[in-house]
Amino acid sequence: MNLRTDSRQFKRINRRELLKLSPVLALGAFAVPRLQKPLLKTGFAFSDWASARLFRSGHLAPTFDDSELTPFARFPINDYDVDDPGVDLDNWTLTVSGAVQKPGDYTLAQIQALPKFRQNTRHVCIEGWDVIGRFGGARLADFLQMIGADPAARFITV
């Protein structure tokens, strides 16, 4: 092995070649146990930073008049999913925990007792189609208020 030749070849590596290696280096860094948590924490912080700049808080989805609704017969249905999964709605509950004043199990009836909000909104599917439909139910904000959610909490996990 000629050390002089190897160093010349190393010097010929350009930025593009180094960029090609960066995913391998990043994945390799995750193999070091003491680097995993700091890397994940940095990644989440970057994601939060980018989201805060890309998304506008208070920017609601556009709404449409009833005359613009897509007829239900034209709504695409993916029949490969089970249309009725056999959920027993009489016994269904949502378990709430975390930074809330009223943790516990909430029944569907309790959630349905909240004010109902309806809105005509465009649904854009990742499959490439879109429809304007009337969607309704309890607002998440009303449910969070009911359970006494901490307004300083940054995430909801469902």
Tens place of pLDDT per residue across the chain (158 aa): 555 556 556 566 677 777 777 877 777 777 788 888 888 888 888 888 888 888 877 788 899 999 999 998 998 877 665 666 678 888 999 999 999 999 999 999 999 999 999 999 999 988 889 999 999 999 999 999 999 999 999 888 88
Beta strands in the chain (DSSP E): 93-96, 104-107, 116-124, 130-138
- In the chain the domains, ranked by start, together with CATH numbers, are 1-57 (no CATH), 60-158 (3.90.420.10)
pTM of the model: 0.59
